[in-house]
Structure 1
Amino acid sequence: MNRMLFVVFAVIFATMTERSMGMSLRGLGVEPRCRCIETESQRIGKLIQSVELFPPTPHCEDTEIIATLKGTSQEICLDTTAPWVKKVIEKILANRNL
């Protein structure tokens, strides 16, 4: 009986520990996966209000660039291989180094 009780507590403890670890990642602002599923490669420069650059993390090996559009505040993931997006990345990195 004591052994069975120990096993039950061990399973409950392991489950709670796993759940709290997952929640703590989100609480720290870390996404457990990539944000971008699809990316936009067409030029939309005039529609962009702001741009955020997310470097690779343990949960996502890709560099992600998310643009917020003027007026709608819709967020769009940009294709990091598109030539015009590469120029945007260069400008962001240059401004960060100032």
Structure 2
Amino acid sequence: MARTATPAAPRLLRAALLLLLLVAAGRRAAGAPVVTELRCHCLQTVQGIHFKNIQSLAVTPPGPHCGQTEVIATLKNGQEVCLNPEAPLVKKIVDKMLNKGSTN
């Protein structure tokens, strides 16, 4: 009688491969930055928003996750808005927020 592979064999192989991938993903070179997202957050940007509506501002420089500078404003209502970092109004907002933080 010929033996056939059991249905558990493919599942076991898939589980072993998944485990191997998870272990490999967990290892990284010493000093390598931890990147949680490997893509840009801002797909569309606005040219500006009124300064009084902004609660906080996050500026992310270009890196392995994204090739462009990203400026994300969190509004007082909790909404996040991507701002165009090249827009003159956005540059003023970033400068004002940085100066506001340095005077405290």
TM-score, shorter chain, exceeding 0.5: yes
Change (3 A) 1:57 1:75: same
Q: Is the 8 A contact 2:35 2:65 kept in 1?
A: no
Provide the rounded CA distance (Å) in 2 between the counterparts of 1:19 and 1:79: 39
Unmatched 5+ residue regions in structure 2?
1-12, 29-33
Alignment partner, residue 33 of structure 1: 39
Alignment partner, residue 89 of structure 1: 94
Q: How many residues get paired?
A: 85
Provide the rounded CA distance (Å) in 1 between the counterparts of 2:37 and 2:23: 15
Q: Percent identity?
A: 40
Provide the rounded CA distance (Å) in 1 between the counterparts of 2:35 and 2:44: 21
Q: CA RMSD in A?
A: 3.7
Alignment partner, residue 21 of structure 1: 25
Q: Residues 43-54 of structure 1 correspond to what in structure 2 (within 5 A)?
A: 43-54=49-60
User: TM-score, normalized by length of structure 1?
Assistant: 0.63
> Counting helix residues as a fraction of each chain, which structure ranks higher?
1
Change (3 A) 1:50 1:35: same
Segments of 4+ in structure 1 off by > 6 A?
Answer: none
Name which of 63, 78, 100 aligns with 1:73: 78
Question: Could you say what secondary structure the match of 1:46 adopts?
Answer: helix
Which protein shows a greater Rg? 2
- Which deviations, in whole Å up to 9, do the C-alpha atoms of 1:11-65 show, x marking residues without a partner? x64884278528x8xxx45311001111111332221111111111112011101
User: TM-score, normalized by length of structure 2?
Assistant: 0.60
Change (3 A) 1:48 1:95: closer
